[in-house]
Amino acid sequence: MEQQQKAEESILVGVFGYPVHHSKSPVMHNAAFRSLGIDGYYQRFNILPEKLGDAVKAVRMLQFRGVNVTIPHKVAIIKYLDDITREAELIGAVNTIVHEDGRLIGTNTDGIGYVQSLREEIDIDLNRAHVLVLGAGGAARAIATQLALSGVHAICITNRTFEKAEELARVIGKIQPNTYALPMSELFARMKDFTIVINTTSVGMSPNSDESPLPADYLPEHLIVSDLVYNPRQTRLLQLAEKRGCQVHGGIGMLVYQGAEAFRLWTGMEPPIAVMWDALLQSL
């Protein structure tokens, strides 16, 4: 009886953020539900920080299958959960909650999403890759953590505020000892050593921005250039990289794959990547 009831229940999921109106996740997930014929619905929830605890209670009471969590709640939500996964613990932030047997488990699919998108879109041998991470904020930590767990050869972190790069390198160094911080002033001479550079800063994010976190002469032809910034228009960094003959990797894939991983956890089904990707592109 219980089993049957479960099968008949709709899958309710959503995203908690503040503000959250910009989130593209509903279009991706609702398109995925439709294409697989699943009775599911994904909704945005604008949750004030002081109401976060109540919102988590609602997830339990209303039998949500799970929620995504975005700015500014990714760290604060942890204290309301029953458990978190190793990834979430290492990253120090949760972007996905799974409601399972009455328990709320927090995980983080940002780093996994990034690495999957990289593997799908770019010909790269991660075990031999020497990675340069630009930035030392939340996105940098998620990505560097997953790259370290995926066994990359070495990770270099640089940042406008160098102390933050040093701190992140210390944290990631516990997973991959071959991790170090480098001041931006020393970057130019070292660019030839890297396999891939990943921009995790917000430089280039504002619409019509012509800013690049690195000038063109920092981009040798062999370098793979990856930019988390997802602009319908290619970012200035990727434009410069393409002109130099570099392979480029944009930020849309990460968005799709982090959502796809959450979809897999909530439904137990293989996410329809192409459907999610198309829905996202159309909404940009």
By C-beta, is 201 or 226 nearer to ligand ATR? Answer: 201
203 binds ligand ATR (CB under 6 A): yes
72 binds ligand ATR (CB under 6 A): no
Q: Which of 25, 95, 145, 200 binds ligand ATR (CB under 6 A)?
A: 200
The type of residue at 131 is: V
Which of the 8 DSSP states describes residue 181? E
**Rounded to whole angstroms, how far apart are CA atoms 158 and 23?**
29
The type of residue at 113 is: G
197 binds ligand ATR (CB under 6 A): no
Which one from 74, 79, 192, 243 is the annotated catalytic residue? 74
Distances (CA, A) of 198 to 9, 241, 244: 42, 12, 16
**Rounded to whole angstroms, how far apart are CA atoms 211 and 213?**
7
171 binds ligand ATR (CB under 6 A): no
Q: Which of 70, 116, 201, 258 binds ligand ATR (CB under 6 A)?
A: 201
By C-beta, is 203 or 237 nearer to ligand ATR? Answer: 203
Q: Given the rule CB under 6 A, which of 47-55, 56-64, 157-165, 170-178 is the region that contacts ligand ATR? A: 157-165
**Tokens 């479960």 appear where?**
6
135 binds ligand ATR (CB under 6 A): yes
By C-beta, is 113 or 272 nearer to ligand ATR? Answer: 113
Which of the 8 DSSP states describes residue 81? S
Contact 110, 142 (CB under 8 A): yes
E runs forming strands in 22-112: 40-46, 66-69, 83-84, 96-100, 103-107
Shortest distance (Å) from residue 123 CB to ligand ATR: 27
Q: Given the rule CB under 6 A, which of 101-109, 160-168, 175-183, 242-250 is the region that contacts ligand ATR? A: 160-168
Query: First and final CA of the chain: distance in angstroms?
Result: 44
* Residue 74 appears among annotated catalytic residues: yes
Structure tokens at 202: 């917000």
**Rounded to whole angstroms, how far apart are CA atoms 264 and 154?**
30
Closest CA to 271 of 31, 108, 10: 31
Q: Which of 15, 31, 129, 139 binds ligand ATR (CB under 6 A)?
A: 139
**Rounded to whole angstroms, how far apart are CA atoms 179 and 152?**
10
By C-beta, is 96 or 267 nearer to ligand ATR? Answer: 96
Distances (CA, A) of 72 to 15, 77, 132, 181, 233: 12, 9, 27, 27, 27
164 binds ligand ATR (CB under 6 A): yes
160 binds ligand ATR (CB under 6 A): yes
Q: CA 76: distance to chain centroid?
A: 18
Residue nearest ligand ATR, Cβ-based: 137
Structure tokens at 249: 């990797």
By C-beta, is 181 or 273 nearer to ligand ATR? Answer: 181
212 binds ligand ATR (CB under 6 A): no
Shortest distance (Å) from residue 181 CB to ligand ATR: 12
Structure tokens at 56: 């988590």
Tell me which residues touch ligand ATR (CB under 6 A).
135-140, 159-161, 164, 200-203
| Annotation: binding site for NADP(+) | 135-139, 159-164, 228, 251
| Annotation: binding site for shikimate | 23-25, 70, 95, 110, 230, 258
Catalytic residue annotation:
74
